[in-house]
Structure formats: C-alpha cells, structure tokens
Amino acid sequence: MRRRRAIVLPALAAAAALALAACGGSSGGSGGGSSSSAAGYNAAVTKVVSPSTHKGGTIAFGNSSTPDSTDPGNTYYAYMWNFVRYYTMPLMTYKSCPGSCGLQVVPDLATGPGVVSDNGLTWTYHIQPDVKFEDGTTVTSQDVKYAVERTFDRGLFPLGPAYFTFLLKAQKPAYPGPYKDRSKNLMGLNAIQTPNPTTIVFHLAQPFADFNYVVAIPQTSPVPPSKDTGANYQLHPISVGPYKFQSYQLNKQLTLVPNPEWKASTDPNAKQLASKITMTMNMNANDIDNRLLAGDLNVDAAGTGVQAAARAKILSTPSLKASSDDPIAGFTWFAALNTTLKPLNNVHCRIAIEYAASKTGYVDAYGGPVAGGAIATSVLPPNVVGHKSFDLYGAASDPGGNVAAAKQQLKLCGQPNGFSTVITYRSDRPKEVAAAQSMQASLARVGIKTTLHGFPTGTYDGNFAGVPKYEAQHDIGISFYGWAPDWPDGWGYMYYIVDGKAISPAGNTNLSQLNDPKVNDLLNKMASTNNDATRNSYASQIDMQVMKDAAIMPGVWAKSLLYRSPNLTNVYVESYYGMYNYAVLGTK
C-alpha cells in the first residue's frame, strides 16, 4: 500500500489547546498591562489619569450590540448620550470633571443657564454666535428649534425621550413633527420661539424647575433643516462637535475623524485629541474584554463593566487591578412590590418582604461588592443630587435579612403564615435571574411562597411586567427591575418609577403602581420649585416616603468594574454616566 503524506491536522492543535484549557484563566496580564506605572485601582474615580494634550492615535471602541440610534434626536442609551458628545452640542451639558463635580449641569451651546420668567413658564437661552456645523455654516437658534421639533415625530423617532412633547405648551392641533409641518420654513412648533439667531425661548405647559437638565439631553443639539434626511439622518448627522462621521456601516462599524470647524474655545467640555475614533458593533462581549486586555481595543462602549471571566482575571492580577476602576454606575437594581395586589396592598405585607429579603444574596447575585455594587438601603443612588443616607429596614445592619421582624410584619398584615405570589424578572439577564432565585429562597424562610416567572427583556415592559392588567391577572406581586435617571436629581430619578401619573397600561415603568398622594405631591413641588437647595431637599423626602410605603425593595446600588486601557489619556469617570468620559479621551 502506498504511504500517504502525513496530514497536519488542525484537530491536533485543538486537542493540544484542550490540554491547555485549564491554564486559560490564570496566566497573568498579557500585552495590555505593560505600561510602566498603572495609576492604581479606582484612580480614575476621583482624578484625571494620564492627563495629556498629546494629539494623534486611534481610539477603538468595542460594542457588544448596536446603538439604539446615532441620531441625537432618537437615542436613550446612557453610553450613547456620552458618545454623541463627539459630534453634538446640546444647550446644556454635564461638566467634564471627575467626582461629584461632574453632576453639575453647565452651559454647552448656550452661553448660560436658562433665564426663567413668567412664573416658571418661560425659559430663555442665548446660544454662542460662532459655533459652526461641519459644513461651515453657522449654528442658529432655529437649528435648535428644528432639532426639538423632530422629536415630535414619534413614528420616525420613537426611541428617544419624550420630554419636550409633554413639557412644552401644547397646541391644537397637536404639532405633528417637521415632516408634516406645513408652516413656512418648518418652524411650526409654537411653544418655541426664535426672536433672533442667538436666542431661543421655550414656553412650558407647567412650571418645571428641572428644565436645564431637560435641555442637556442630546435632543437639543442643533440640526440644519436643509441637511436633515429623516430616518436616514443617523447615517451621517451633521456634526457640531470635535468629530464628524467619516463612515458608518450600519450595525458594523462607525468611524469618526476630527471636525475642522470645531473650536475648542466654544466647547470646553470636549477635546479633539485622537485623529480617529472607531466603534465596532455586535462584538462578542467576552471578545471585547479580551481585546481590551490585549490592547487591541481601548474602550468597551457600553461602559457597564467587564464580563465575569475578565473580572476574575482583573481582580486576581495586581497589575491589571491597578488599571481598573469600580465606580458607582448610577443605577439601582430593585424589586418593585405591587401595591395593588392582594395581600401586598397592605403595607405591612410589603414591609415583611423588605425585612425578609437577603440583601447580601441580592448583591452576590450581581457579582458581589466590587462587580455588583453596594447594598442599597433606599431607592435613590448615592450619585444623585440630594441623596441622603438612611436605612429603614436594616438593609445594611442586617444584610442577611431579619426573619423575626418580617414575621412580625406578616402578623400585622393578617398573614401570619405567609402568603403566595409570583416573582417576575428578565430571564435573559443571568444576574437578575440569580437575584430572583435568592429572593425566592429568602422569602421562603418566613412562609412567603413564590413562583418564578421570567420574561425576555424586549417584551418585559411592553407585554408582561409593564402591563398592570397582566400583573393583576397573573398574581405578580414582585417585579425585578432597574432604573437609571434621565438626569441626576430626585425628579429625574423618581418620577417614572413612583409617580401615580406615570402609570401606563403598557410599557409601564411604575411597576409598583404606587399612587401615593404624598409622593405625587412632593414630585410636583420639585417640578415647580426653582430654588435649588429647596428642590433638592425634596429628593430625600420622596425617597423616605417611598421606603415608608415599601413600594420598592432596593437591592443594589450598581457598580461597574471598568478596565482602564493604559493607552488612553485624560481618563476619569464622569459621575452622571457612571463610566469614563468619552468626550475628553486621547491616546498616548
């Protein structure tokens, strides 16, 4: 028989790889951690790491999914509100500085905060006269008005926030958006006036003291009506920021290059250092972490922290840990307790849950103190303006739960042997699943028997937990959820989750269906009080009342373990986003 040449099998290599599999996780830092002196664990939470004015280089972002939209009028993701600062300038923005300094809202396109008049119903802003679009034309107030008008077409732009549609003075018939606008030069929204090219006046339906925060949303970044392409604008928004779109393959890769028309003097909260910025989308999340560590990527766009595998590697390797930060992410994971469902409609039954649930179990489900976050003793996270620390039910002092107190509460609500109810959660989030299971176990100790019922995130709000009728029909008493504020003050955090007016038949976010006149009243007062100090004092009062009502069982004040690529300069955590400030990054 003729001999055949030996075939080198890739299988052999793989077999060898199998033998090496055990060594995969423990090998120390590769490539990435080779910088001579990493600034230290959590260095970027309080100060700027590697400050530099060095220009050039590429910042490579990796994204495990896709942006909801790159159109500033149509995005709601926290990391996108951070990322769009590369090519947008809303009227106001958050100050670019580390620590609680970054919670302040400061003028961006505007020259100063809004001037309030007319008993809080009119807000006037002046904009800088010499800001230019990437095509060289000067930005006028009409471009800002047009940008806001776009947000009224909810059919074309359903994904962004809807504040302008209900805060601004209504008109009849309702303003249909600029694409159905029949008025001259598309300025049909009466609630906004532009008396001259540098002045814009907003007329509100009710006084709303937080309006400066509202105009910090990217939706007020100017859009030139002549260059608007509607649903296709996301493919190339006309930039007023330090960078502009060079190319965008939808769902695949976005490339930004410096915008020559941008002037640093008009935009102190952003920098133009790198010569290219790329975002690669739909990457495998673990792949992103590995490339971050290897140095092939600089930033994980989502900014919510590394996955479990990389986390273990980072925390166990001192050189890697010195290049990581564990900031407060700015949101709370919690379980909403259905205030309308028997027997939870009795406050004592709800307080029983507050006592019985194991807080350590909840935090561990999210990855423990470093990866998950801190035990939440109330709803408002610590980085919200006006936060005050209190602990009504011993969450911090008895983190394993207080069985005796729980049983006491059960007696008070007439269910001394416990009761049954259903727990819902988002089944495609492993941490949330684990938290639900932990809750089930801890409640069982006091006789509260629960059934677990999970739903995918995509349909959770719209079809299940977020549909009050569904919750009633299916005995859903406990719904796991999470919430990050649209802006970092009490109203921005609390309104949608505890205000009675926010309850909606589908897509509901007030999962407790709380309708407490005291809470509603405090929120109203917050909205109409202009004095900052007074207004912010309401935040903790609302928090306290919600906890007294036991409408929410707070779980975790989330933290994210972020890896700080050694190649980046000007790295620090921007408090409001709970992740690195993208607008100021550069490379070495």
Partner 1 sequence: MITFIIRRLIATVFLLIVVSAITFAIFFLIPRLAGQNSYQLATEYVGRNPSRAAVLQVEAKLGLDHPLWVQYGNFIKGIVVGAHYNSGTSTTYCPPPCFGYSFKSQQPVWPQMVSDLPVTLSLAIGAAVIWLVAGVAIGVISALKRGTLFDRFSMGIALAGVSLPIFFTGLIALELFSYKWPLFPNVQYVSFLTNPFLWARNLVLPWVCLAFLYAALYARLTRAGMLETMNEDYIRTARAKGLPERTVIFKHGLRAALTPIVTIFGMDLGLLLGGAIITEYTFSLHGLGLFTILAIDNQDLPEILGVTMLAAFFIVIANLVVDVLYAVVDPRVRH
Chain residues 314-343 in contact with partner 1, contact rule CB under 8 A = none
Residues 11-50 that bind partner 1 (CB under 8 A): 11-15, 17-18, 20-21, 24, 27, 30-31
Residues 124-153 that bind partner 1 (CB under 8 A): 153
Nearest to 515 by CA among 528, 530, 502: 502
Residue 268 or 456: the one with the smaller Cβ distance to partner 1 is: 456
The DSSP 8-state label assigned to residue 86 in this structure reads G
- Residue 359 CB, nearest approach to partner 1 (Å): 27
Q: Is the separation of the CB atoms in 131 and 266 below 8 Å? A: yes
In whole angstroms, give the CA distance from residue 545 to residue 565: 42
Residue 17 or 264: the one with the smaller Cβ distance to partner 1 is: 17
Residues 478-537 that bind partner 1 (CB under 8 A): 496, 502, 504-507, 509
- Residue 379 CB, nearest approach to partner 1 (Å): 17
Judged by CB under 8 A, which of 174, 182, 196, 397 binds partner 1?
174
Residue 174 or 533: the one with the smaller Cβ distance to partner 1 is: 174
Judged by CB under 8 A, which of 26, 130, 166, 501 binds partner 1?
166
Three-state DSSP class for 332?
strand
Which x/- pattern over 273-312 shows residues binding partner 1 (rule: CB under 8 A)? -------x-xxx-xx--xx-xx-x----------------
Bridge partners of residue 449, in order along the sequence = 420
In whole angstroms, give the CA distance from residue 294 to residue 216: 36
Q: Does 184 bind partner 1 (CB under 8 A)?
A: no
Q: Is the separation of the CB atoms in 143 and 224 below 8 Å? A: yes
Q: Is the separation of the CB atoms in 82 and 301 below 8 Å? A: no
Judged by CB under 8 A, which of 58, 171, 251, 420 binds partner 1?
251
CB atoms within 10 A of CB 504: 14
Buried b (16+ CB within 10 A) or exposed e, 553-579: bbbbbbbbbbbbbbbbbbbbbbbbbbb
Residue 2 or 531: the one with the smaller Cβ distance to partner 1 is: 2
- Residue 493 CB, nearest approach to partner 1 (Å): 13
Nearest to 483 by CA among 552, 572, 430, 387: 552
In whole angstroms, give the CA distance from residue 368 to residue 359: 11
- Residue 81 CB, nearest approach to partner 1 (Å): 12
Q: Which residues contact 49 (CB under 8 A, 6 or more apart)?
A: 39, 43, 564, 570, 571, 572
Q: Does 9 bind partner 1 (CB under 8 A)?
A: yes
Residues 201-240 that bind partner 1 (CB under 8 A): 228-232, 234-235
Residues 358-377 that bind partner 1 (CB under 8 A): none
Q: Which two tokens mark 59?
A: 């910042």
Q: Is the separation of the CB atoms in 147 and 218 below 8 Å? A: no
Question: First-to-last CA distance in the chain?
Answer: 63
- Residue 105 CB, nearest approach to partner 1 (Å): 20
Which x/- pattern over 445-474 shows residues binding partner 1 (rule: CB under 8 A)? -------------xx-xxx--xx--x----
Q: Please give the size of the binding site for partner 1, defined by CB under 8 A.
A: 76
Judged by CB under 8 A, which of 121, 156, 308, 392 binds partner 1?
156
Residue 83 or 362: the one with the smaller Cβ distance to partner 1 is: 83
Residue 501 or 518: the one with the smaller Cβ distance to partner 1 is: 501
Tell me how far CA of residue 61 lies from CA of 45, 502, 516, 532, 568, in angstroms: 20, 36, 44, 37, 12
Q: Does 76 bind partner 1 (CB under 8 A)?
A: yes
Q: Which residues contact 487 (CB under 8 A, 6 or more apart)?
A: 105, 210, 213, 214, 216, 576
Residue 286 or 524: the one with the smaller Cβ distance to partner 1 is: 286
Q: Is the separation of the CB atoms in 20 and 551 below 8 Å? A: no
Judged by CB under 8 A, which of 155, 260, 268, 414 binds partner 1?
155
Q: Is the separation of the CB atoms in 110 and 91 below 8 Å? A: yes
Residue 267 or 489: the one with the smaller Cβ distance to partner 1 is: 489
Judged by CB under 8 A, which of 26, 58, 65, 190 binds partner 1?
65
Residue 106 or 159: the one with the smaller Cβ distance to partner 1 is: 159
Q: Is the separation of the CB atoms in 433 and 460 below 8 Å? A: no
- Residue 394 CB, nearest approach to partner 1 (Å): 32
- Residue 300 CB, nearest approach to partner 1 (Å): 13
The DSSP 8-state label assigned to residue 206 in this structure reads S
Q: Does 430 bind partner 1 (CB under 8 A)?
A: no
- Residue 298 CB, nearest approach to partner 1 (Å): 13
Q: Is the separation of the CB atoms in 364 and 372 below 8 Å? A: yes
Q: Does 195 bind partner 1 (CB under 8 A)?
A: no
